[in-house]
Amino acid sequence: MNYETIIGLEVHAELSTKTKIYCGCTSEFGGQPNTHCCPVCLGLPGSLPKINKKAVEYAVKAGLALNCSITRASRMARKNYFYPDCPKDYQITQQDFPLCANGFIEIETKNGPKKIGIERIHIEEDAGKLLHVRDGSLVDYNRAGVPLIEVVSKPDMRSPEEARLYLEKLKSILWYIGVSDCKMEEGSLRCDANISIRPEGEDKFGTKTEIKNMNSFKALEKALGYERTRQKELLDGGGTVHQDTRRWDDSKEMTFVMRSKEHAHDYRYFPEPDLVAISISDEWIKEIGQSIPELPDDKKKRFIEQYKLPEYDADILTSSKKLADFFEECVKYTDDAKSVSNIIMVEMLRLMNEKGVEIEGLKITPQHIGKLVNLVNKKTISSTAAKKVFDEMFTTGKDPDAIVKDRGLIQNSDTDFIKGIVLKVLSENQQSVADYKNGKDRALGFLVGRVMKESKGKANPAIANRILKQELSK
């Protein structure tokens, strides 16, 4: 039987406020265990929470960026449950009056753009962190009370790939507007997924399962793919899908049952009596809206139009606001935006990945990249030499003019000089010469590469190419 997959995501993003949501403790990641805590974090008798205005502002900002309507009069609720990482035995969250509702994100699928609905965005506090050791379990409450937004999508996704695209777009937007650092490796962006399947053509939803706390795009896509197959095999074998909460084991690439799914009534929600209602004025919403920068989709369109970049380049360059800003700084120093794009995508991102360097830790400057592009375009250095210059710029932060001078990399266009190298290369590579004469055009590229290597990257490649063809035609 053919089935349709139904997926909805619940994403928790830690807000980048300096202090926690209900007290003045720092929300900074890490620190010695239980050093970022106070009586409010720990729910001690007599302590009273006070809501962090910045957390409300960031949640509203996220709502506006995600095309939501903003709830003018809202309030907090207590979600009651017992777990060691929640010292109060309840979580202060929102239930009936979320700050934001009815938004959407647009993703690019193989079949074109698709809108994924957002049901609600509400604010709440994070829980502490449990560490299970041989002799028992330890708990660190440094994270308890860090402000979160929970972004709940509508069940509009129809494949694991769409779920990944949605999460990537959501992360990009939250990052752009500066409300969360979205560091999945530090747990500041976490994702739970609800997935069910139903026979194609049916309207009624199948029984869903929930997969908890996936912390990478790859894990999300794999876990949903596994769960979709598991549910299909279960139904095709005459079995029943139970409404479970499951965990994803990355090493075994399987989901496992954690517990039967709780329902909202299990939590006995009721209004939080220690916090006043939240009132949001139109003026404040307008002020927050004016602080939202150009978002990724708009920036991508502008990059294509303004810099004449291919969609692929624009997509990568605008995947991060810091990367997009860096690119735009580079093109202030050259007219060749495409060459800047090539250097950033091919050389800079490669080295950043290899060295584990973030944009803010770069020694290389946008001005240096602009200068390097101009050196190649003016034929002062070859593209082969440019790679050497870039590597040194990346490592040392030195000016490209100084590197070219120090290493003697100025391009040589002297035809006698180049012809001498060409003749030497041809005499040492007779098999490639024969291959070229037998119709293997790729042999020419190999020979050009040998000439460039022999000249230490100084030979003008266009002249080398021309002389090689002349000699090979004899």
pLDDT tens string 416-426: 889 999 999 99
* Backbone dihedral region for residue 284 (phi beyond 0: left; psi -120 to 50: alpha; all else: beta): alpha
Q: Tally Cβ neighbours within 10 Å of residue 341.
A: 22
What is the mean predicted confidence (pLDDT) over 147-151?
97
What pLDDT is attached to residue 174? Answer: 96
DSSP3 helix / strand / coil % (the chain, rounded to 5): 45, 20, 35
Q: CA-to-CA distance for 58 and 280, rounded, in angstroms?
A: 13
What average pLDDT score do residues 394-418 get? 89
pLDDT at 171 over 60: yes
Average pLDDT of every residue of the chain: 92
Helix crossing, 442-454 with 461-472: angle to 10°? 120
Instruction: Give residues with Cβ within 8 angstroms of 461, minimum separation 6.
Output: 382, 383, 384, 448, 452
325 dihedral zone (left: phi>0; alpha: psi -120 to 50; beta)? alpha
The values of phi and psi at residue 291, to 5°, are: -90, -5
Strand locations in 204-299 (E): 209-214, 244-249, 254-260, 270-271, 278-279
Tokens found for residue 46: 């007599």
∠ CA 267-216-253, rounded to 5°: 90
pLDDT value at residue 106? 95
**Residue 218 pLDDT > 80, yes or no?**
yes
Instruction: Please state the rounded mean pLDDT for residues 446-456.
Output: 88
The winner for highest mean pLDDT among 24-33, 149-158, 266-275, 377-386 is 149-158
Q: Is the pLDDT of residue 263 over 80?
A: no
Amino acid at 10: E
Mean pLDDT of 115-138: 94
**How much is the pLDDT for 439?**
85
Looking up tokens 């990478």 gives 216
Stretch 98-119: mean pLDDT: 95
Residues sharing a CB contact under 8 Å with residue 114, sequence separation 6 or more, in sequence order: 106, 107, 108, 156, 162
Q: Specify the pLDDT at position 169.
A: 94
Among residues 408, 409, 432, the alpha carbon closest in space to that of 422 is found at 432
* Per-residue confidence (pLDDT) for residue 7, from 0 to 100: 97
- Please tell me the number of Cα atoms within 13 Å of 93 on its side-chain side: 25
The residues pairing with 209 across neighbouring beta strands, listed in sequence order, are 195
Confidence label for 194 from pLDDT (cuts 50, 70 and 90): very high
Query: Could you give the C-alpha distances from 339 to 288, 331, 376, 452, in angstroms and in order?
Result: 37, 10, 10, 21
The confidence band for 158, taking pLDDT boundaries of 50, 70 and 90, is very high
In this prediction the pTM is 0.82
**Percent of the chain having pLDDT more than 70?**
99
What burial letters (b/e) apply to 251-289, b meaning 16+ CB within 10 Å? eeeebeeeeebeeeeebebeebeebeebebeeebbeebe
Q: How many CB atoms lie within 10 A of CB 158?
A: 14
- Taking the CB of residue 200, how many other CB atoms lie within 10 A of it? 9
Q: Report the pLDDT averaged over residues 234-242.
A: 92
Is residue 249 within 8 Å of 256, Cβ to Cβ?
Answer: yes
262, pLDDT greater than 70: no
Q: How far apart are CA 425 and CA 471, in angstroms?
A: 11
What does the buried/exposed string (b/e) look like for 89-124 if buried means 16 or more CB atoms within 10 Å of the residue's CB?
ebbbbbbebbbbbebbbebeeeeeebebbbbbbbbb
Give me the pLDDT at residue 452, please.
86
* Mean local confidence (pLDDT), 74-94: 92
- pLDDT in the model for residue 464: 87
- The pLDDT score that the predictor gives to residue 76 is 96
Instruction: Report the pLDDT value the prediction gives residue 30, as an integer from 0 to 100.
Output: 84
Q: Is the pLDDT of residue 264 over 60?
A: no
